[in-house]
Amino acid sequence: MATDMQKLMGASEEDDEEEMDVKEEDDEDEENGERRIAAQMMMGVDEVMPSTSSGGQFQHQQQLQEQVGTPGGGGARRSRPPEEKERTKLRERHRRAITARILAGLRRHGNYNLRVRADINDVIAALAREAGWVVLPDGTTFPSRSPGSRPTGGNSAGMTSSSSQMVSQQTPPTSLQGVSSGYRTSVEYNASRMKGVFMPSSSPYDLSSSARSQSSGMVGDGGEQIESLPFISGSMEAINDKQLGVINIKCELVDPDGLLKQLRVLKSINVDGVMVDCWWGIVEAHAPQEYNWNGYRRLFQMVRELKLKLQVVMSFHECGGNVGDDVCIPLPHWIAEIGRSNPDIFFTDREGRRNPECLSWGIDKERVLRGRTAVEVYFDYMRSFRVEFDEFFEDGIISMVEVGLGPCGELRYPSCPVKHGWRYPGIGEFQCYDQYMLKSLRKAAAMRGHSFWARGPDNAGSYNSQPHETCFFCDGGDYDGYYGRFFLNWYSQLLVDHGDRVLSLAKLAFEGSCIAAKLPGIHWWYKTASHAAELTAGFYNPCNRDGYTAIAAMLKKHGAALNFACAELNFLEQHEDLREALADARGLVWQVLNAAWDVCIPVASENAVLCLDRVGYNKILDNVKPVNDPEGRHFSSFTYLRLSPLLMERQNFMEFERFVKRMHGEAVVDLLV
C-alpha cells in the first residue's frame, strides 16, 4: 500500500526534470538574480497557490534585478556577458536533470516519500534522518544520541505538509535520554515528510550493531488503532474519525480551540463519534503505577459536551515509524530503563536485533517489570482508566474499548519492522529469540520428546526474502515437515495465548462494556502454498490450514469484536505490485470475515489508505454494507482515517458528508463524478 501511495504521490523522471527546483549553492551562480527569482517562484508554487499577478511580479523583480546589476541601476554588481549567462543556464539545467534522476531513484527504489518539487536540502535531511540524526525544520542538525544539544522550548501545535495531520511538537524531557538511538520528536516527523520510512540507527538493545537489510518497496500492514460502534436498526450507525497528535507527550491537549471547531463541524454532519488512543508511553511515562490522565479528561469532556460517542484504544506500543505515524511516542521511560539492563523484554530476531516497539509476549507471566508481569502491568493500566473515567462509562459516552495486543495495536508479531530494513513485499522474520520465548520453545520441544527442535528455523531467509528463495517457505519446504509444523504450531499458539490472557483481564477491567481487538491484513504471498508473510507474523495459515478460526474462537470466548482493516483492500488487486507479490486481498478478507461471522462476533473496519473521492467512498460502502449478501451480513461500524485539515477542505468535506449520509442509510442521489 505504501508503494501504491508512492506511485500516486511521486512524479516520473520526466516530470521531475521539468518541475524540479534545485537550490544548490555555487560560487559562480550565487549572485545570479534570475536563478534566485526562479527558485522563489517555484517555492511559492509548492507552498501556496500563486496569484494571477505572479507573472507581473516576476517581470517586476526581473526589472529590479537588471537595474541592480547595471551601472546605471546604482548597484555595485557588474553585468555578465551573454555567453557566461548561457553557460550558467546549461550548468543549471544539467544539475536539475541529475537531481531529478536521483530523486526518482530514491522514490522508486528507496521508498523515500519526497515531494514533487523536493530540493537537495530535502534529500540531505532524509539521508541524515535515516542515519539516526535529528534535523529540525530550521536546518539545525545534531546526533540523536546527543541529548545536550537538543533545543529546549515549549509545546506548540503543528501540521505536516505531506499528510496535513495535526501533531504535537514538543521537545522530549531530559529523562528520555538514552531511551533509543532512534527516538524522534514530533518536530522531526513534521519536518521529514517521510511517512513509513523511519530508519533510525540500530537500537541500543540490539545484540548486533550491524544489520540493515537492503531497501525495496514497502507496504504498511496496518499502522493505527481503530474503533467500532454498534450497528443499530439495520443501518450503519457509526462513522468515526481518528487523529494522531491530539495529546502531547506531557499529556496536555494540543490546540483545544482548533480541535473543538473540527469536532463541531463533524457533529453538524451527524458523525457518531471519535476514537482516541490512550498511549501507555504518555500516561504511565515516568514511574510504575503513576498515571496522568489530565489531557484525556479534558478531551473527553469536549466530546461529551458535543454529545458524541467515544471509542478508546489501550495503546501498549510505541507510535512512530509506521504508515500514518506523524508523531513519536515511545514506551514509558521506566520500561526503557529496564530494557537497557534486560533487553530480552523486547521481541528479538535471529540476528539478535531488539524491537522496542512493544513488550515480548515471553514476559506475559515473568515478574521482570519491577515486580510485576507484563499482563499485570496492562491490567493495572486498564483498571486505572476505568476508575478515572467511570462517569463516561456510566453515561454511555465510551461505547467501546479496543485493547492493544502487539505492534501497531494489532494481534501479531512485529515480523516486518521498517527500522530493521524490511520493505514490501518481504516475508519478514520470526521474532522468537529473546530468552523467555526460547525457554518456552525448549519446554515445548521437551514435551514432544525432541529437544533438538528447541530452535528457530535456520533456512527461513531474511526480512526481504521471497518464499521461493528459502528452503523453509518454498513449495514443499520445511514449513510442512514434522519440525516445521511443530514450530509453527508453537509460534502461533503463543499469539493466541497472549490475546487470551490480555483480553480476559480487559473483560474484567471493563466489565459490562464492549471490547475489541485488531487484526492486520497481511495479504502478500497469499497465493503461495506457505503464506510466508502470515507465518512470520504468527498466523499459521498455509493453504491446507485455516489460521484464523482459533483467533475468532478466542475473541468469541471473551465477547470481543474484531477490528479488521480491510474496507478497501479487495479492490487493490489490479495494482502491479500486488500481482508481483502474489497477493490476494479479496481472499484474505473473506477468509477472516467468514471466520468471525461463523462464530457470530461483530466486525468493524477502517480505511487502510487515505480516501477523499467519491469512487473510493463507493468502494468502501460496497464492502462495509454489501447489498447482495444472501445472509444480510455487514460490518458493525466503520472508522474513517483521519481527521485532518485536508479533509476539511470544501470539496473533500462535501464528499465526506455525502459518504456519512450513505453510511447511515440515507438516500443520496449518486451523480456522476
Residue with cell 527516538: 183
Angle between helices 82-110 and 33-47 (to 10 degrees): 30
Residue 606 known to be catalytic: yes
Burial class of residue 516 in the structure, from the number of CB atoms within 10 Å of its CB (0-12 exposed, 13-18 middle, 19+ buried): buried
**Grid coordinates given for 151:** 533545543
Dihedral angle, C-alpha 222, 225, 230, 235, nearest 10 °: -50
* CA-based nearest residue to 602, from 227, 319, 330: 227
Please compute Rg for the chain using Cα positions. 26
Q: Is 69 helix (H, G, I), strand (E, B) or coil?
A: helix
CA angle 166–167–169, rounded 5-degree value: 135
Distances 140 to 123, 136, 149, 151 between C-alpha atoms, Å: 15, 5, 10, 9
- 357, 568, 606, 655: which one is catalytic? 606
| Residue 143 φ/ψ, nearest 5 degrees | -65, 145
- 237, 318, 410, 568: which one is catalytic? 410
Residue with cell 480476559: 504
The answer to whether 420 and 209 are in contact (CB under 8 A) is no
Q: Is 86 helix (H, G, I), strand (E, B) or coil?
A: helix
Residue 410 known to be catalytic: yes
Q: Classify the phi-psi angles of 301: left when phi > 0, otherwise alpha if psi is within -120 to 50, otherwise beta.
A: alpha
The answer to whether 555 and 493 are in contact (CB under 8 A) is no
Checking DSSP bridges between strand 156-159 and strand 166-169, what pairing results, if any? antiparallel
**Grid coordinates given for 31:** 549572485
Q: From CA 353, how far away is CA 350, in angstroms rounded? A: 7
Distances 199 to 145, 266, 309, 353 between C-alpha atoms, Å: 15, 36, 37, 14
Q: Is 173 helix (H, G, I), strand (E, B) or coil?
A: coil
SS3 per-residue string spanning 585-618: HHHHHHHHHHHHHHCCCCEEEECCCCCCCHHHHH
* CA-based nearest residue to 421, from 211, 219, 207, 580: 211
Residues known to be catalytic: 410, 606
